[in-house]
Each structure stands twice: as structure tokens, then as C-alpha cells.
Amino acid sequence: MVQVLPAIIPESYDDLKDKMSIVSGLTPLVQIDICDGKFVPSKGWPYIGDGENDFEKILKEEEGFPLWQEMDFEVDLMVKNPETEAEKWIKAGAKAIVLHYESSPKILDLVKKLRKDYGYSEDSVAGIEIGLAIDIETTNSVIDEFLKEEANGKVLIDFIQFMGIRKIGYQGQEFDGETILKISDLREKYPEIVISVDGGVNFDNYKDLVKAGANKLISGSAIYESENIAEAIKEMQS
């Protein structure tokens, strides 16, 4: 079955809680897009309003992450220099971290450090899943160094996330068909890797994405703006 994750770009802490509540019980996992207004033009929680105070309370364990007892979350770090932010989100309880290849020249070093410090999710409850996101303009060849087998017999990342839109950090944009070609190319080269797609995923293209080789779909507007969210998620999964 294809994994379908509702995507949330939180405008505030309350907005995050509301949108997580809407899909609670319908999915075990959501993706939260973290936009700093530097790596991407848009800015969202916790970089706006009193968001940093809310996030600090979570890091200090003065308050739990929204719905932490009911569902897991992964974070898509659309931030500049994620070296300073990734571990904060692991501490906040993220099940997975998505790092954008273009966000820092030190992404490979960061992935290796996170693996050394936190390990793999299948090895312990403290382990973390790591995804590598690449833009449409970035060649697939950059992925190779992240999928080389390490001394432990494993590769550094758990999944690749292709961006389906050219202007990341905004929901509701038109999907770019070049992404399908990139998915097909990677699936042929790496038959076992989990391939995720984020940006522009909707009911007009999700079948083509799966056919090309995607097995994880991230969708925001198509899910949240549907008349029946539960049915929308089930349709994509099937």
C-alpha cells in the first residue's frame, strides 16, 4: 500500500493543532513543513508570532507536542543551514527529518552526524529516519553519495523526497511533470529505496506518480480541501 501523509504548513501553533486534529485517527503520520523565510520565501510556525516561545516550551518539556500520544510527525526542514535546527526537532519528537540537499553545502556531513548520534529507527526507539529532498533542477546523481553502503551494511538515508513544484514552501501550486521522469530514473537505479513526492500531489497525478515508482505521497491542499478527508486519503492509498 502507498503511504499517504497529509502536509501541514502551520501558520501558528493553534493552526498546527487544528490541522493535526482534523486528520487524527485517519493517519498515523503527518508531515509538518518548517519554513524559515530564508531558504524559502514563505515563513511559518515557529518563526512567526510567538511561535519560538511555543517551541521552546516543547524543547524544555514544559509542554508536549500537539497530539503526541495519538500520532507521529515528520518535519520537512525548509530552512537555511539545517545544522542548527535538525536536532531541535529530533528532541521535539519528530519520527523523521527531511533535509533539503540545496539548503546547505554540509548536508552529507549533517546526515553522518545524525546517524552517529541517533542511529537508525529500526535499531532503537531513539533512532531517527532521515529523508533527503531534492529540487526539480537538482540532478539525481547527487543522491548516489547518500546511498552508498556504509561499513554497517546500511545506507545513510531512509528515503528520497522529490519536490513536485519549482517554488517550494507554498501549497496549492501546479505540479511539474518533470518530477515523474526523475522518479522513474531513480526507481530504475535503486529498486528498493522509498521514494516520496511532495508538492502539487493531487487526484489528477497521484496514479502516474505511483506508476513511476513513488510509494510515499505528501499532499496538503488536495487532502485538506477535499469534501471527505478520510475518503481522499483512502483513495490515494489504494
Q: What is the DSSP secondary-structure string of 176-228?
A: PTHHHHHHHHHHHH-TTSEEEEESS--TTTHHHHHHHT--EEEESHHHHTSS-
- Domains of the chain (ranges, CATH numbers): 3-237 (3.20.20.70)
Parallel, antiparallel or unpaired: strands 96-100 and 72-78: parallel
pLDDT over 90 (residue 50): no
Which parts of 50-138 fold into alpha helices (H)?
51-59, 86-92, 107-118
Query: Is the predicted pLDDT of residue 47 greater than 90, yes or no?
Result: yes
At 2-39, the pLDDT tens digits run: 999 999 999 999 999 999 999 999 999 999 999 999 99
CA atoms of 132 and 37, how far apart (whole Å): 20
Instruction: Give pLDDT, residue 125.
Output: 81
Cα(180)–Cα(174) distance, rounded to whole angstroms?
Answer: 14
Give the least confident one: 63-77, 136-150, 159-173. Answer: 159-173
Q: How confident is the model at residue 101 (pLDDT cuts 50, 70, 90)?
A: very high
Q: Is 151's pLDDT higher than 90?
A: no
Answer for the pair 89, 117: CB distance below 8 angstroms, yes or no. no
> Would you say residue 171 has pLDDT above 80?
no
**How are the residues of the chain apportioned to helix, strand and coil, as percentages rounded to the nearest 5?**
35, 20, 45
How far is it, in rounded angstroms, from Cα 64 to Cα 70? 12
pLDDT score at 184: 98
Chain-wide mean pLDDT for the chain?
94
User: What is the pTM assigned to this prediction?
Assistant: 0.95
Residue in the block written with cell 526507481: 187
